[in-house]
A and B are shown apart, each in its own frame.
Chain A
Amino acid sequence: MPVIVVANPKGGAGKSTLSLVLGTSLASQGASVTLIDCDPNRPIVDWKAGPSRANVRVIGDVTESTIISVMQEESKARQFVIVDLEGTASRLVSRAIARASLVLIPLQGSAVDARQASRAVGLIREEEELVEREIPFRLVFTRTSAAIPTRIDKKIIASLEAASIPALQTHLHERSAYKAMFVDKLTLDELDPASVNGLEAARENAMKLALELVSVATKAKEAA
């Protein structure tokens, strides 16, 4: 299941960070990865212009009329296609979701993020009827504390569980290493542990997230 679409109509939910962390982590383990950057700020296109030697292909300049054919074309040759969408409710977002094999909806522990995430879930559910297939999706908590979940986090997690909304067990923690990736335009492997705090913990977090993602994507049962 190689086409993963990262969507939340709310800006700043962690879409680009999640896309880049997953894409580079999978590539570091030998996967062929294409990242499609649909964010108007082009953070991943910008990242690719840096010194990183990561084996990821980055495509920018995608419009609502080309998104589907680009996804289709890339998925023929690459093991993973990750689409980083714009933080708005747009036609491009809806079209990308319709062709996804898995939708990841990142959200921070805030009411605004959760509400916008539920908007994306609502759209996915209605699109499922239209395309006559299941569009699997998972919520992903981002920027959570690695040490202790806040009360707000717990409250949102509980409300998701009550509504049977599936979420990844692994969170993308708040780590300065993830910000450093964008600043230095490198992968977690390439960053210098001497200049980035908690780099090893970030690498482990990213790998755990990648493992859960691959497990979900292949629907393989992951032995704990």
Chain B
Amino acid sequence: MSTADPFGFSTANRVAAKIAEIEPESTKAAPASLAALDRVAEQHGFQSREAGEEKIVRRRREVGPSAQLNVKCPIPVYNRFIRFCDEERLPYWEGIEKLLDLAGVSQTGERKR
């Protein structure tokens, strides 16, 4: 690189000659959407490693007054209920709400039949 090369035979000189032909150009703008690109990347295991993007917001918690409900129940019923909430990944009160919904009990306590 730094050695004298008056006749221009060196590799460095050939590199310099080729560089002179190169002009800046814009990168190829891809027509694909970023979302589609990211989906393909994820299929190949190339996932986002940055925090703060696409965070899944936890479902809305109930606001307003609440009351305590203590229930004494037979162990098998207890086990069924805990297992149900575990499998559905629900807090107990949401488990009760879901069972009420399934039973067709409306917000006002009426039963749809």
Q: Which residues of A are interface residues toward B (Cβ below 8 A)? A: 1-3, 9, 25-26, 28-32, 63-65, 68, 71-72, 75-81, 86, 88-95, 98-101, 119, 122-123, 126-127, 130-133, 188-189, 203-204, 206-208, 210-211, 214-215, 217-218, 220
Contact of B26 (CB < 8 Å), options: A64, A76, A86: A76
Measured between alpha carbons, how far is A145 from B16 in the docked complex, in Å?
Answer: 27
Q: A91-B48, A94-B37 are in contact. Are A133 and B1 (CB under 8 A)?
A: no
Taking a contact as CB atoms under 8 Å apart, the answer to whether B15 and A90 are in contact is no
B62 on the A face (CB < 8 A): no
Q: How many Å from the CB of B5 to the closest CB on chain A? A: 11
Give chain A residues whose Cβ lies under 8 Å from the Cβ of B27: 3, 68, 71-72, 75, 81, 99-101
Contact of A26 (CB < 8 Å), options: B19, B24, B26, B49: B19
Q: How many Å from the CB of A65 to the closest CB on chain B? A: 8
Contact of A28 (CB < 8 Å), options: B1, B24, B30: B1
Taking a contact as CB atoms under 8 Å apart, the answer to whether A78 and B28 are in contact is no
In the assembled complex, 11 residue pairs joining A and B whose CB atoms fall closer than 8 Å, in A order, are A9-B46, A28-B12, A89-B47, A91-B38, A91-B49, A94-B40, A95-B34, A122-B44, A131-B37, A211-B18, A217-B22
Give chain A residues whose Cβ lies under 8 Å from the Cβ of B18: 211, 214-215, 218, 220
Taking a contact as CB atoms under 8 Å apart, the answer to whether B24 and A95 are in contact is no
Give chain B residues whose Cβ lies under 8 Å from the Cβ of A132: 30-32
Q: Which residues of B are interface residues toward A (Cβ below 8 A)? A: 1-2, 10-12, 14-16, 18-32, 34, 36-38, 40-50, 53
Give chain B residues whose Cβ lies under 8 Å from the Cβ of A133: 28, 30
Output the nearest chain B residue to A204 by Cβ-Cβ distance.
B11
Taking a contact as CB atoms under 8 Å apart, the answer to whether B36 and A130 are in contact is yes
Q: A28-B1, A91-B48, A119-B44 are in contact. Are A131 and B30 (CB under 8 A)?
A: yes
Measured between alpha carbons, how far is A140 from B108 in the docked complex, in Å?
Answer: 71
Give chain A residues whose Cβ lies under 8 Å from the Cβ of B28: 99, 101, 131, 133
Measured between alpha carbons, how far is A68 from B2 in the docked complex, in Å?
Answer: 36
Contact of B40 (CB < 8 Å), options: A29, A71, A126: A126
Give chain A residues whose Cβ lies under 8 Å from the Cβ of B38: 91, 94-95
Measured between alpha carbons, how far is A122 from B45 in the docked complex, in Å?
Answer: 11
Give chain B residues whose Cβ lies under 8 Å from the Cβ of A91: 38, 41-42, 46-50
Q: How many Å from the CB of B74 to the closest CB on chain A? A: 51
Measured between alpha carbons, how far is A138 from B34 in the docked complex, in Å?
Answer: 24
Output the nearest chain A residue to B13 by Cβ-Cβ distance.
A29
Output the nearest chain A residue to B11 by Cβ-Cβ distance.
A207
Give chain B residues whose Cβ lies under 8 Å from the Cβ of A64: 48, 50, 53
Taking a contact as CB atoms under 8 Å apart, the answer to whether B12 and A29 are in contact is yes
Taking a contact as CB atoms under 8 Å apart, the answer to whether B22 and A214 are in contact is yes
Taking a contact as CB atoms under 8 Å apart, the answer to whether B19 and A29 are in contact is yes
Give chain B residues whose Cβ lies under 8 Å from the Cβ of A215: 18
Give chain B residues whose Cβ lies under 8 Å from the Cβ of A89: 44-47
Q: A28-B1, A132-B32, A218-B18 are in contact. Are A95 and B47 (CB under 8 A)?
A: no
Taking a contact as CB atoms under 8 Å apart, the answer to whether B45 and A119 are in contact is yes
Taking a contact as CB atoms under 8 Å apart, the answer to whether B44 and A31 are in contact is no
Measured between alpha carbons, how far is A26 from B11 in the docked complex, in Å?
Answer: 12
